[in-house]
Amino acid sequence: MASQDMFKRSSFNLFRGRRFEAVDWYWSPEDNFKHRRHALDTRLQYGSLKYDRELFISIICNEYALRVSAQRIEMLQKEIKALEKLTNIEVDQIQFAQLNTGLEEVQKKHSLQKHQLYISESMIPERPLKQNYDSLRRNPDWYMRHELIQDCKDRGGCCSRGCGCCAQRYLTSEKMNGIGHCTWDCWCCLQYRGFDLSAEEKEKAEKELGENLRSWNPAYLLKMTDGFFTKPGRWNISWIR
């Protein structure tokens, strides 16, 4: 009986956030984490320093939004060039005008998203996190890291095929802003799928990214923060224990 009371006291301590790895015998591991998640610290740790997870989530989501608009611009430019090669008939002129209007709108959106990412990046503490973040991005193909390549593969992007688009994207893109792995607006992925998604479906996909990063299970958030922020040979970002 004393042994059982001791175990229950230990379980009570888990609710107070004193431990993270242990699992209660009352619930499954998933239920156990869900019941305790509000009592746990939602910060992430890098070395001896602790950061609010929203700092990382904001940058990852804003960077993804920037990639979406960059790849949308590339898609519309390709469609405009293809249309220019066709016979100059009235229906083509109407479509041409629509594409150019759409391109102008996306370019404006892209500029606003660059500023939004800048705001998020300005919130990164200077040492050591901002230094590592900036150091990684001095390499134009910084995004070709194992964690981010695997994420692109898992989402069915170009890294899951042999086209090499992601690896070459920094060489073929005119601007450095928004260069990275595939989104739903990747031209090559669109050709492979054979269809485009509706605006509502794309908006849902962006919303799901934020939901996955804020999930009760931190696995995806930790993978993405390692890909975005950590230098090889240094500490990994971890959940507060």
**What's the CA gap between 169 and 180, in Å, rounded?**
7
The torsion angles phi and psi of 44, rounded to 5 degrees, stand at -115, 155
pLDDT tens digits along 120-147: 999 998 778 888 899 999 998 999 999 9
238 - beta bridge partners? 45
Quick check: 8 pLDDT over 80? no
Question: Model confidence at 181, in pLDDT bands (50, 70, 90)?
Answer: very high
Work out the angle at residue 26's Cα, subtended by the Cα atoms of residues 24 and 29, and round it to the nearest 5 degrees. Answer: 55
> What integer pLDDT is reported at residue 240 of this predicted model?
55
Question: Model confidence at 16, in pLDDT bands (50, 70, 90)?
Answer: very low
**What's the CA gap between 97 and 103, in Å, rounded?**
10
Compare 175 and 204 and report the one with higher pLDDT: 204
Q: Give the global pTM.
A: 0.78
Quick check: 232 pLDDT over 80? no
Question: Model confidence at 13, in pLDDT bands (50, 70, 90)?
Answer: very low
- What token pair was written down for 141? 């193909």
Residue 9 vs residues 1, 14, 196: alpha-carbon distances, Å = 12, 9, 55
- 220: nearest Cα among 169, 172, 150: 150
Question: Model confidence at 70, in pLDDT bands (50, 70, 90)?
Answer: very high
Residue 80 vs residues 38, 58, 91: alpha-carbon distances, Å = 51, 33, 14
Question: Model confidence at 12, in pLDDT bands (50, 70, 90)?
Answer: very low
Quick check: 26 pLDDT over 60? no
Tell me the three-class secondary structure of 209-237, residue by residue: HHHHHCCCCCHHHHHHHHHHHCCCCCCCE
pLDDT tens digits along 82-99: 887 776 665 677 888 889
Do 32 and 26 form a contact (C-beta atoms < 8 A)?
yes
* Residue 185: count of CB within 10 angstroms of its CB: 21
> What integer pLDDT is reported at residue 51 of this predicted model?
85
HSE, side-chain direction, 13 A CA sphere, residue 125: 8
Segment 53-73 shows an average pLDDT of 93
pLDDT tens digits along 38-62: 445 578 877 777 888 999 999 999 9
Identity at 168, one-letter amino acid code: Q
Average pLDDT over the chain reads 79
Question: Model confidence at 33, in pLDDT bands (50, 70, 90)?
Answer: very low
Q: Tokens 């992430």 sit at which residue?
A: 44
Quick check: 166 pLDDT over 90? yes
